[in-house]
Structure 1
Amino acid sequence: MKKASEIVGLPVMSKTSGKKIAVIKDLVFSRKKFRILALMTHEGSVFKEAKIIKYKNVISVGKDAIIVDKENVIESAANIPDIFQLIKEREKIIGEDVITESGENIGIIKDIIIDEGSGKVLGFILSDGLIQDIMDGRNVLPYIYGITFGKDAMIISDEIKTEFDKNKEYFKKLLELEQ
């Protein structure tokens, strides 16, 4: 398990040459597939295209670097329509509210937990606000079938909320074990 925030800023190293070829600027998530599709190495602007590395080209995500096989894995996002569309829409998961079907806000997504081997989203780190975070620590909501991403918020069923409340401490401990 790795937090998305631990990946941003890592250098990308070529396994064959040992050369640093890029630094990760952002992650491109698919809300439909609940996984990372690409790592952004250059953000797009008016004059420059966004550059990415498809996640399937990543050999490993370590503590200090990301390893890819060859130097030529960096591609223009414009050449990959589904990834380009996600970048263009600038849909972010971090910062979204998490709301139950009955309308209760249980927090804001502060980070995403991923499986570094597959890029699959395993869960979300939530904040209840600064004071609550300091007193109790941040909560971990595992990705469970039944979570829906809307345009402005993540919606969870009341059943998921009940399980979340019952197992908060257990979920926090799972994250601590990996660190």
Structure 2
Amino acid sequence: MKKSTQILGQPIISISEGAEIGKVKSFVINPDKGSVDFLTIEHEDWQVSVKAIPFKKVVGIGEYAVTVESDRAVIDLNEIPIADQLVNKKIRIVGAKVMTRKGELVGEVKEFYADENTGKILGVVLQTGELETILSADFVMTYGRDIVVVKEEAPGHFLDDPEKLLTKEVEEELEQPGEEGMEALRAKQVELLKGKKAVKDIYAGNGEQVIAAGTVLSEEDIKRAQEAGPGVFVELSMHVDE
């Protein structure tokens, strides 16, 4: 199991040539499988096309490098329709807002964990207010371009140790969060947005303005948006700036 930050920027070494063939530039995510399917390559000689390595061609991910058998593992993504489609979906995960299916803001993804042998995403590291916590990918319903949608019970199953992602315990303990859990989630939403600036006017379903553009959000502003409904709160969380 590797953190995304342990892979990005790593040199890619061809075993047969004994040479570096580039560095890991980014991940190509398959949202349907919940996996990293390709690693794109940064190389000064490749400025036009997007070069990448299928994750299944990776031999190993070590502390200092990613290894492949030879430079023949490198492909041009533009020449493979399925890969090109995944690139155009622009699923980034890191930096995405995390919402429950009912529109409750949970936090923001700071990084993720992946199986170093298969590329399967095992869990995400969330920033919830001032705290960082871990959520198993078992709770993820959708990996989107800007939002990761999770099950409603997800906030009640944060982990403090990434090793727990390798167990099945989280799958066997699904429970609906009680009122106490929902209150804790709303408090974390306040922590996450407090002090940020709304970049557009936010309106309720009846047309009433809830938040004006340019407002530096206070706790009262955020609670007002929460009370206006999930749709209003999602709209606000997607239109804020530092």
Which range, TM-score by smaller chain?
0.7 to 0.9
- Residues 1-179 of structure 1 mapped to structure 2, 5 A cutoff: 1-42=1-42, 48-129=48-129, 132-133=130-131, 138-144=132-138, 147-162=141-156, 164=157, 168=158, 171-175=159-163
Alignment TM-score, normalising by the size of structure 2? 0.62
Q: Please, what is the CA RMSD of the aligned residues?
A: 2.2
Tell which structure's C-alpha radius of gyration is larger: 2
Q: What do the CA deviations read for 1:15-41 (whole angstroms, capped 9, x no partner)?
A: 112111111111111111111111100
- Return the offset for 1:13: 0.7
One-letter amino acid matched to 1:144? D
Tell me the number of residue pairs that the alignment of Structure 1 and Structure 2 aligns: 163
On the 8 A contact 2:2/2:115 being kept in 1, the answer is: yes
On the 8 A contact 2:92/2:145 being kept in 1, the answer is: no
| Paired-residue identity, % | 28
Q: What do the CA deviations read for 1:126-153 (whole angstroms, capped 9, x no partner)?
A: 0124xx13xxxx1100111552234532
One-letter amino acid matched to 2:117? G
Name structure 2 gaps, 5 residues minimum: 167-242
One-letter amino acid matched to 1:152? D
One-letter amino acid matched to 1:41? I
Question: In structure 2, how many angstroms separate the alpha carbons of the residues matched to 1:73 and 1:65?
Answer: 15
On the 8 A contact 2:124/2:134 being kept in 1, the answer is: yes
Question: In structure 2, how many angstroms separate the alpha carbons of the residues matched to 1:50 and 1:57?
Answer: 17
On the 8 A contact 2:49/2:76 being kept in 1, the answer is: yes
- Of residues 100-109 and 149-158 in structure 1, the stretch that sits farther from structure 2 once superposed is 149-158
Q: What do the CA deviations read for 1:65-123 (whole angstroms, capped 9, x no partner)?
A: 01100122111111111111222332321111111133221101111110111100000
Structure 1 residues 12 and 150 mapped into 2: Cα distance closer, same or farther (>3 Å)?
closer
Q: Secondary structure at the match of 2:153?
A: helix
Question: In structure 1, how many angstroms separate the alpha carbons of the residues matched to 2:26 and 2:145?
Answer: 20
On the 8 A contact 2:91/2:143 being kept in 1, the answer is: no
Alignment TM-score, normalising by the size of structure 1? 0.82
One-letter amino acid matched to 2:83? I
Question: In structure 2, how many angstroms separate the alpha carbons of the residues matched to 1:87 and 1:146?
Answer: 21
One-letter amino acid matched to 1:118? T
